Amino acid sequence: MRVLVTGGAGYIGSHTLLELMAQGHAVCVLDNYANATPEVLNRVRALSNGTVADYTGDVRDAALLDQVMTTFRPDAVVHFAGLKAVGESAKKPLAYYDVNVCGTVALLQAMDRAGCRRIIFSSSATVYGEPVYMPYDEDHPTNPTSVYGQTKLAAERILTDWAGANPDAAAVILRYFNPVGAHHSARIGEDPQDIPGNLMPFIAQVAVGKRDALTIYGDDYDTPDGTGLRDYIHVVDLARAHVAALNHAACNTGARAFNIGTGQSHSVRDMVAAFSRACGGDIPVRQAGRRTGDIAAMQADASRAKRELGWTATHSLDDMTASTWAWQSANPDGYGTPD
Ligand code: NAD
Ligand code: UFG
């Protein structure tokens, strides 16, 4: 298929480009580089030895979208472009609604004008909110606790209504759990522009000497070691879920949500220990109170994705930490490090 990838220069998008090309799909990226650098695409091209068409611009730009649709003529869109910082979303709610919700509407309108009928959407496990039961399955009530989560849920509803109104349309909603890790080449990976808010990139920066210690938020949760439990998923497994979702969208219509996780969970202390194994050194930690808005545990029931997409995660926790360390140690300044 010909696949337009919005936000394709980002962390998950760049890994997905490689998996799409490996399966013979033609790709085109639309990214405004709000949270990425064009160097990413140079590395994707070098790794794949393939063609990556690209447009620089905003997913809310209708004229640009029409130009991309007319020139590239996508059979499907994978929609990553968006803002993702939970804390920032409370301070800049309108920016988050504008990019994440209005951006999705603008994209669907452009797809309608071009007659493109398949979309894969990056949603998040955060749409579930405080657990009513665990693991979460896709029928768990949705009650996001952040503005970011609300924007993802709003976009999901818009996609569902769009698919409902167009009998030939397919919208596959992927609810990611906690993506971590990097490509085995160590040439693409996660490169936070600011102080990392997420656990794994923060640990990686401590390990490489850019930060002095990891702050562990909370040790009094109702979990085996008192720290938060999450379902960490290797970014390459996540990227492959998009290929499976495209295959699904090629032969199904309607909207369908899928959890994309491993079905296992690990504590903050498990992650620190696993990273120490990977890098062969200690990760200094300091203990602090709980982070506002955090919940004790999140774990996927990923059985629907296995059953209906034929997708399942294959990478282990050690694969996740080893690939993160390989990327971080080879690129201490992320994409600012010469390739
Ligand atoms: P990322 O920030 O690395 O990638 C997003 C990309 O979108 C970036 O390249 C950025 O420059 C681009 N972008 C942002 N605003 C844009 C706009 N208005 N127009 C065009 N491009 C724009 O983030 P990621 O971790 O790769 O996440 C990709 C998607 O997955 C996001 O929608 C995010 O909300 C979602 N998601 C991420 C996680 C996670 O933990 N990383 C978890 C669940 C869901
Ligand atoms: N944590 C620390 N110290 C840190 C960072 C995190 O102890 O410096 C802890 C958190 O308290 C939590 C765990 O590590 O227990 C994971 O935290 P992350 O910030 O890495 O991930 P979250 O589960 O909070 O959120 C992530 C994404 C969200 C997404 C959610 C579910 O940031 O966008 O996963 O997909 F919605």
DSSP 30-70: EE--SS--THHHHHHHHHHTS-EEEEES-TT-HHHHHHHHH
Tell me the CA–centroid distance for residue 110 and ligand 1, in Å.
Answer: 20
For the Cβ of 217 lying below 6 angstroms from any atom of ligand 2, the answer is yes
Asked if omega into 201 is within 30° of 0 (cis), the reply is no
Find the domain containing 35 and state its range.
Answer: 2-181+232-261+300-313
For residue 31, the ligand closest to its alpha carbon is: 1
Is residue 18 domain-resident?
yes
Tell me which of 31, 68, 80 to substitute to probe ligand 1's pocket, judged by most ligand atoms within 8 Å of the beta carbon. Answer: 80
Is residue 64 domain-resident?
yes
Tell me the CA–centroid distance for residue 202 and ligand 2, in Å.
Answer: 11
Question: What is the rounded CA–CA span in Å between residue 289 and residue 203?
Answer: 18
Q: What is the pLDDT of residue 320?
A: 98
The reply to whether the predicted model has a pTM over 0.85 is yes
Distance of CA 207 to the CA centre of its chain: 23
Q: Which residues are catalytic?
A: 148
For the Cβ of 144 lying below 6 angstroms from any atom of ligand 1, the answer is no
Q: What is the pLDDT of residue 218?
A: 97
Is residue 129 domain-resident?
yes
How many domains is the chain built from?
1
For the Cβ of 228 lying below 6 angstroms from any atom of ligand 2, the answer is yes
Is residue 127 domain-resident?
yes
For the Cβ of 38 lying below 6 angstroms from any atom of ligand 1, the answer is no
Amino acid (one-letter) located at 170: A
> Buried b vs exposed e over 166-178: b needs ≥16 C-beta within 10 Å?
beebbbbbbbbbb
What residue owns the CA closest to ligand 1's atom 30?
Answer: 122
For the Cβ of 36 lying below 6 angstroms from any atom of ligand 1, the answer is yes
For the Cβ of 149 lying below 6 angstroms from any atom of ligand 1, the answer is no
Per-residue pLDDT of the chain (339 residues; tens, 9 = 90+): 999 999 999 999 999 999 999 999 999 999 999 999 999 999 999 999 999 999 999 999 999 999 999 999 999 999 999 999 999 999 999 999 999 999 999 999 999 999 999 999 999 999 999 999 999 999 999 999 999 999 999 999 999 999 999 999 999 999 999 999 999 999 999 999 989 999 999 999 999 999 999 999 999 999 999 999 999 999 999 999 999 999 999 999 999 999 999 999 999 999 999 999 999 999 999 999 999 989 999 999 999 999 999 999 999 999 999 999 999 999 999 999 988
Is residue 331 domain-resident?
no
Q: Do the Cβ atoms of 59 and 35 come closer than 8 Å?
A: no
User: Which CATH number is 80's domain given?
Assistant: 3.40.50.720
Q: What is the pLDDT of residue 339?
A: 84
Is residue 218 domain-resident?
no
- What are the φ/ψ torsions at residue 48 (nearest 5 degrees)? -95, -20
Question: What is the rounded CA–CA span in Å between residue 249 and residue 263?
Answer: 24
pLDDT tens for residues 220-260? 999 999 999 999 999 999 999 999 999 999 999 999 999 99
Amino acid (one-letter) located at 261: G
Q: What is the pLDDT of residue 174?
A: 99
Question: What is the rounded CA–CA span in Å between residue 271 and residue 318?
Answer: 9
Q: What is the pLDDT of residue 167?
A: 97
Tell me which of 123, 126, 267 to substitute to probe ligand 2's pocket, judged by most ligand atoms within 8 Å of the beta carbon. Answer: 126
Tell me the CA–centroid distance for residue 280 and ligand 1, in Å.
Answer: 31
Q: What is the pLDDT of residue 297?
A: 97
